[in-house]
Amino acid sequence: MKQYILAHDLGTSGNKATLYDTDGNLCGSVTCAYGLHVAEGGVAEQNAEDWWGAVREGTRTLLDKVNPKDICAVSFSGQMMGCLCVDSSGEPL
């Protein structure tokens, strides 16, 4: 049975999702873009719900290529200097 690794990279412009088999072969990739909101004074923000939507969309797209039961690992990387404050329930502020 072939197994796969699903990887997500949450960057500043979108989520780059890739699917590799355990032999290291690229089996699929997709980028799901999201917006950047720039406020007065040059403050840049993104909506955490947009991140989550992009992860879901990328995952669904790549899982159409394989049986989801054959995913043996999922990895994430994110923006180096990003900060997401949450409330006591884990909801983004």
CA nearest to 22, candidates 76, 66, 78? 66
pLDDT of 39 reads 86
- pLDDT, averaged per 10 consecutive residues of the chain (93 residues), comes to 95 94 97 92 88 96 96 90 86 86
Predicted local distance difference test score (pLDDT) of residue 23: 96
What's the token pair of residue 74? Answer: 């999922």
